[in-house]
Structure 1
Amino acid sequence: MWDTSRDYRFKVADKSISLFLKAVESGSLRGQWNKKLAVQMADEIKKVLQSLIYSYLEPKELTSAPEMRLIKEKGENIIEALGGEGWAELFLKEAEDKEKTEENIARIKFFLNTILKLKERIMLGKILDPIIGVDVVVGEVMSSTKHPRANRLQICNVNIGDRSIKVVTNDLKVKMGDHVAVVLLPPQNFMGITSEGMFLGTEGVLRNVKGEIGGLPKNIPLESLNEARKIVEKFIEGK
């Protein structure tokens, strides 16, 4: 019997709902969208998650449970409520405070990625590790520029297969074309720039990571995951 109440995949998913609600209630998302429906769907996802958290089902049973299909369907309903596939661009177009809007868009994207890919993480089996609650993928750095307000930080646009994300790093050696291991984390604001993840590394960023773009990185040092584990645990604890 698998102790689903201790499964970090469910813990992160549950906490991501609060992050989503904080974003949609912020007042920075302007335009024509169905806020009431988005909030309703998020509340319903939370209820379904709670039933799974205390189900004590084996991972294989969880992946075939009707609740998993419900979670995905309600996540897709939220996308429609936000304005469809191009919802983020619509919010940016109407933004009065671009930096705040970008931060809240990143929060919503983290929530949606966490919810919509929950089944894929569960399929990885019995793993009791904070890192399993988020995605670790291979990315390709598409551009790297200096942070406008911090000389010791760089802003990288990173292709992770199905989309691109923004990562703020203090490793100034990261450059266009580098293949990196990226962990998708709850967004963090660095002096006006929102970072959607963190590059993995021990003494500097790993810049020649093997694996397909968007897939799991191969043969990365296990110790490179330590900082990400701490961040995930703090997120769950609400810190």
Structure 2
Amino acid sequence: MDTAKDARILVLEDALRHLNSVVSNRKLRFHVEYGRLGEALKKAGALFYEVKYSYVDAKSVAELEATQNLVSAIDDFEDIFRSAIDSQGYAPQSNSERETVAEVNYALRIVSRFQKKLVHYDDEPGYAVDLLAVEVTRTQPIVGARLLDECRCTDGSRIWNIVTNIEGVRSGMKLACAILPPAVMMGVVSEAMFLGGDPLPDDTPLGELANVSKGVLDQATAQVMQIIERMT
């Protein structure tokens, strides 16, 4: 396959750029060993180009030594990042801090699931990011934004903060969403985007979305293409 143009690989490249931006600009507001983070990123960056220009099939990309070592390097990054947070009991206080932590979490998620995307999904761009079924646990209007609501949602294992302009979203509703690079909207950090707008059936399992409709996949693909376009 043309690995240089595969959406999964380009989204991985974007994730590494997010991590590099956080480290090079020292965005983290807690003590962390930036030197070790930088070393992990330097190693991953060198390996990435072996992956991007490998021109082998998706399963073979997942099995490349370069791919495995890249993921391992970012695992080291995550260990350093999480250990620093845990040892200091850090919790972000400002929107800027929340956005930075969400940015790192997003990028780490992309890297950790990269091999699975190659092996278990086709090359439709929408599958390059995680598509989840979530349940809304709380909604509240955003002050000063007549058409925006802040929604707290669960995928069964963690909480996501999602800002939406979809009308009628309420607690208990299940919806499809895409996990995207975080954005601050009217002073609120949004970590994902609802897709489709129509509620999922009540018996839909939370977590990874098993039955992805064409409408949901098309919207996810549009979001992934925006990620890729912003890189150029």
Instruction: Identify whether the pair has TM-score above 0.5, normalized to the shorter chain.
Output: yes
Question: What is the CA–CA distance in structure 2 between the aligned matches of 1:198 and 1:88, rounded to whole Å?
Answer: 32
Matching of residue 227 in structure 1 with residue 214 in structure 2: no
Q: Structure 1 68/85 Cα, relative in aligned 2: closer, same or farther at 3 Å?
A: farther
Q: Structure 1 32/213 Cα, relative in aligned 2: closer, same or farther at 3 Å?
A: same
Question: Do 1:35 and 1:81's aligned partners in 2 also have CA atoms closer than 8 Å?
Answer: no
Question: What is the CA–CA distance in structure 2 between the aligned matches of 1:15 and 1:219, rounded to whole Å?
Answer: 24
Question: Do 1:71 and 1:116's aligned partners in 2 also have CA atoms closer than 8 Å?
Answer: no
Q: Please, which runs of 5 or more residues in structure 1 have no aligned partner?
A: none
Q: Structure 1 33/50 Cα, relative in aligned 2: closer, same or farther at 3 Å?
A: same
Q: Structure 1 68/185 Cα, relative in aligned 2: closer, same or farther at 3 Å?
A: same
Question: What is the CA–CA distance in structure 1 between the aligned matches of 2:126 and 2:187, rounded to whole Å?
Answer: 27
Q: CA deviation at 1:73?
A: 1.6
How many residues align structurally? 230
Q: CA deviation at 1:230?
A: 2.5
Q: CA deviation at 1:83?
A: 3.6
Question: What is the CA–CA distance in structure 1 between the aligned matches of 2:106 and 2:170, rounded to whole Å?
Answer: 25
- Which residue does 1:188 correspond to in 2? 183
CA RMSD of aligned residues (A): 2.3
Range 33-42 or range 99-108, more displaced: 33-42
- Which residue does 2:149 correspond to in 1? 154
Q: Structure 1 53/118 Cα, relative in aligned 2: closer, same or farther at 3 Å?
A: same
Question: What is the CA–CA distance in structure 2 between the aligned matches of 1:175 and 1:217, rounded to whole Å?
Answer: 23
- Which residue does 1:117 correspond to in 2? 113
Range 9-18 or range 23-32, more displaced: 23-32
Matching of residue 206 in structure 1 with residue 198 in structure 2: yes
- With normalisation by structure 1, the TM-score equals 0.86
Q: Please, which runs of 5 or more residues in structure 2 have no aligned partner?
A: none
Q: CA deviation at 1:89?
A: 8.6
Question: What is the CA–CA distance in structure 1 between the aligned matches of 2:41 and 2:89, rounded to whole Å?
Answer: 21
Question: What is the CA–CA distance in structure 2 between the aligned matches of 1:173 and 1:83, rounded to whole Å?
Answer: 37
- Which residue does 2:74 correspond to in 1? 75
Q: CA deviation at 1:71?
A: 2.4
- Which residue does 1:18 correspond to in 2? 17
Question: What is the CA–CA distance in structure 2 between the aligned matches of 1:182 and 1:78, rounded to whole Å?
Answer: 27
- Which residue does 1:172 correspond to in 2? 167
Q: After superposition, where does 1:118-133 map in structure 2 within 5 Å?
A: 118-127=114-123, 129-133=124-128
- From 216, 235, 239, the counterpart of 2:209: 216
Matching of residue 99 in structure 1 with residue 118 in structure 2: no
Question: Do 1:59 and 1:123's aligned partners in 2 also have CA atoms closer than 8 Å?
Answer: yes
Question: Do 1:181 and 1:217's aligned partners in 2 also have CA atoms closer than 8 Å?
Answer: no
Q: Deviations over 1:175-214 (max 9, x none)?
A: 121111111111121011111111111xxx1212464211
Question: What is the CA–CA distance in structure 2 between the aligned matches of 1:28 and 1:59, rounded to whole Å?
Answer: 34
- With normalisation by structure 2, the TM-score equals 0.88
